[in-house]
Amino acid sequence: MKAIKLFAALTILVFVATSCKNENELKAEKNVNQYASYVDSIIKVEPEVAAEDWVDIEASAEFKKSEALEALDAIEGREIFDSKLEESSKKFDVYKEGVESKMEVASGTGAGNTTQTTPLSKSLFGIVIGKDLNFNWVNKDNIHQVYKNFVNTVSANKKTYSREDWDEIKLLYEALDTRKNTVEKEGLSTKDNLKIATLKTEFATMFKLNRIGAKSEENSDAKS
């Protein structure tokens, strides 16, 4: 009788373990496919059009990719999923270069141009960022906190920023993102990457809503 009970208990444990494994694999497959589908749909958009809403687009892409990476960490035999994720990631990176080149031309921050920043950067990062937009002080150990401080500061002061302030904030944000691309290759953890992706999504929404508001207020002032 004891042997029967033991066998039944072991059977249940095996079933539970198998179910968890299948559930984790299904979640990983779903998240990878969602990221791949998002990338495939985005790269069909003309770069000039995507540039208008790039902060939001890039934040969504990074969040979906981070979710996929987190799900992959919970399974074994992830090589096929890794391959698909990497393929989509490369597609997005190539497309991103095209969009950012259009943005540089539009803003005049391409090669041969200089970028002027103001002490606004000190409130966002604790130091004044020069016109070279150097973020080499950001590394895999502090980058999550840098993003967190940045987003929290912007959130706390969002009602006071002018359109010009928002344009500078976007410029600094994009420079930080460029540094993040390097930091990811230096061992940024999946956990921190997902936290940063969440912060980026929060910032994208905040930027979109508040910059429009700031612009409308300035136009209203100009007409009065």
Q: By 3-state DSSP, what share of the chain in percent is helix, strand and coil, each rounded to 5?
A: 75, 0, 25
Q: How far is CA 38 from CA 12, 57, 91, in A?
A: 39, 10, 11
Is pLDDT above 80 for 108? no
- Please give the share of the chain, as a percent, with pLDDT higher than 70: 80
Contacts of 196 (CB under 8 A, 6+ apart): 62, 66, 143, 144, 147, 180
For the chain, the average pLDDT equals 84
Residue ranges per structural domain of the chain: 1-113, 114-224
pLDDT digits (tens, 9 = 90+) for 40-51: 999 999 999 999
CA 152 to centroid of chain Cα atoms:
16
**Rounded to an integer, what distance in angstroms lies between the CA atom of residue 51 and that of residue 100?**
7
Is pLDDT above 50 for 165? yes
Q: Which residue, chain included where needed, has tokens 């809503």?
A: 209
